[in-house]
Amino acid sequence: MPEQEPAAVLRFKEAHSARGGGGRVVILPDRVHTAALAAEALGCEVGAIANSLLFDTGAGPALILTSGAHRVDTDATAQRIGVPRLKRAAPDFVREHTGQVIGGVSPIGHPAPVPTWLDTALRQYDVIWAAAGHPAAVFSTTYDELLAMTGATEVEVD
């Protein structure tokens, strides 16, 4: 990552501070595009990584913050959250709605609010790690803090 922080990380930090976020932002030496790579770099369980997955519902975006130990069953989760479908969002759709790139989407700091759901499986971890606006940037948080900062609705993700 360049010496100067990318604009998306700076926007994340502003949003994090404005929401009273604790924890810390860590810039990893290499890009970590998977929960397994992030967990290895951070020395935590893969389940403690909160993947920020943006979906296209056909009527707009839906952000699912899911444990790195889970794969999203899109049909079951769409039914649980009350949307007609959950389709993996194209890179341009992700950038348009989050201002960030796939692999670095943070739960906060988007140009406009994005409807967000939080995987209840993350509750079991004392510390959760999530992307901070760039594929090499992550931040630490707790389940309750992440729920409060995002205004998410809790959901079980299979």
Is 42 part of any domain? yes
CATH number at residue 108: 3.90.960.10
Q: What is the pLDDT of residues 65-80, one digit of tens each?
A: 999 998 899 999 999 9
The answer as to whether 84 is a domain residue is yes
pLDDT tens column, 97-128: 999 999 899 999 999 999 999 999 999 999 99
Q: Identify the domain containing residue 133 by its residue range.
A: 7-155
Residue 119 forms part of a structural domain: yes
Cα separation values, 27 from 113, 116, 149, Å: 25, 25, 21
88's enclosing H/E stretch is: strand 87-88
Q: Please report, for residues 18, 30, 87, 88, 118, the alpha-carbon distance to residue 60 in angstroms, rounded to integers and kept in the order given.
A: 25, 32, 11, 12, 18
Q: How many domains does the chain have?
A: 1
Q: Is residue 1 part of a domain?
A: no
